[in-house]
Amino acid sequence: MRPRTVRQLARAHKTPAARRLHVVPAPQPPPEPMHPAERRIRDAGGPDDRGCYSCGCGLVFVAPVSTSVRCPRCDAAQAW
């Protein structure tokens, strides 16, 4: 038995039997219907991400939730 050359090996891999078939993935399942309350919240723009903060100066205020909230009265940084 003679060893095969590189060309012979390359030709052997190009035969129709050696080709890979294209696999088509299964279709995605349809999305689950959304709950009416969730649909209302999404249509309204989503949840309101605002928090209530109290400062050492006595002011209680509402501000967007963030890691760097400052008091509007004394400009002190609030802990998160």
pLDDT tens string, the chain, 80 residues long: the values are: 577 676 666 665 555 555 667 888 899 998 888 899 888 888 888 777 888 999 999 999 999 988 889 999 999 998 76
Classify residue 74: in a domain, yes or no: yes
Classify residue 17: in a domain, yes or no: no
DSSP 11-34: HHHTSGGGSPPPPPPPPPPPPPPP
CA 77/CA 60 separation, integer angstroms: 13
Classify residue 2: in a domain, yes or no: no
Query: Is residue 76 within 8 Å of 55, Cβ to Cβ?
Result: yes
Which residues, other chains included, contact 43 with Cβ-Cβ below 8 Å and sequence gap of 6+?
Answer: none
Q: How many domains does the chain have?
A: 1
CA 70/CA 53 separation, integer angstroms: 9
Which two three-digit tokens encode residue 10?
């390359």
Classify residue 68: in a domain, yes or no: yes
Classify residue 10: in a domain, yes or no: no
Classify residue 33: in a domain, yes or no: no
Q: Domain range spanning residue 80?
A: 47-80
Would the pTM of this model clear 0.85, i.e. be above it? Answer: no
Classify residue 76: in a domain, yes or no: yes
